[in-house]
Amino acid sequence: MDKFIGVRFKPAGKIYDFNCGAFVLKTGDHVIVETENGLGFGEVATPPTQIENKKGSRPLKKVYRPATENDFNKIIKNTEIENKAYNFCRQCIAELKLGMNLFSTESNFDASKITFFFTADGRVDFRKLVKILVKEFRSKIEMRQVGIRNQAKICGGVGRCGRELCCSAFMTKFEPVSIRMAKKQGLSLNPTKISGVCGRLMCCLTFENEGYVKTEKPNKRKGSKNQ
């Protein structure tokens, strides 16, 4: 039987399982793992757990080694690359007059790939921009257009409750939110009071919705007389 751990690469990000082999690890440790894009730097989110190897099951990628001081220094250098890439790309976007809002950049562990996150009202032809970025950084470039809720998750911030945004603090995925949830909870339907910093309905409306649904009085049968 092998042991696997759950590794998270971003705060409040999705947890991925890795085979930890003979390494003795605990929650909070930092590790270097094998990923589809090469080596990755992550944090142990769930402790080692034994798992049976089932026939035909896809083997888990392995933990390469526990992180060292040099790895942490590498992360610092990657952050400098990300900041430089962000400023350079913003300048290029302005010069090319592209209708896109760049808000974050992300480099993989070995700096062989840089991902640029942006929002836009529609599709953007950024082929010329990519050529400029490849020539400047000599790395693989990915332009990723995301929604406004993802922007809030990546950038973080403080909600109207005075606490860190739920999406950037602990939520790993977005659940559908509807105005009906606000109605059931007796909240004001004023958009400015039930919308988050992203401009969409607040994610926390889903947290207690199930409780309201369970305690809601059943609808009277059709044709029954009013009491």
pLDDT at 221: 44
Average pLDDT over residues 50-63: 73
Closest CA to 63 of 21, 15, 118: 21
- Checking if the pLDDT of 225 tops 50, the result is no
Average pLDDT score over the chain: 88
- Checking if the pLDDT of 55 tops 60, the result is no
CATH number for the domain formed by residue range(s) 73-146: 3.30.300.20
Domain ranges, ordered by start, for the chain: 2-67, 73-146, 167-215
- Checking if the pLDDT of 3 tops 90, the result is no
More confident call, 3 vs 42: 42
Burial 133-168 (b: 16+ CB within 10 A, else e): beeebebebebebeeebbbbbbeeeebeeeeebbbb
- Checking if the pLDDT of 223 tops 60, the result is no
Rounding to the nearest 10 degrees, give the CA dihedral for residues 194, 196, 199, 203: -80
- Checking if the pLDDT of 220 tops 80, the result is no
Which tens digits make up the pLDDT trace of 12-29? 889 999 998 889 899 999
Closest CA to 115 of 158, 156, 154, 68: 154
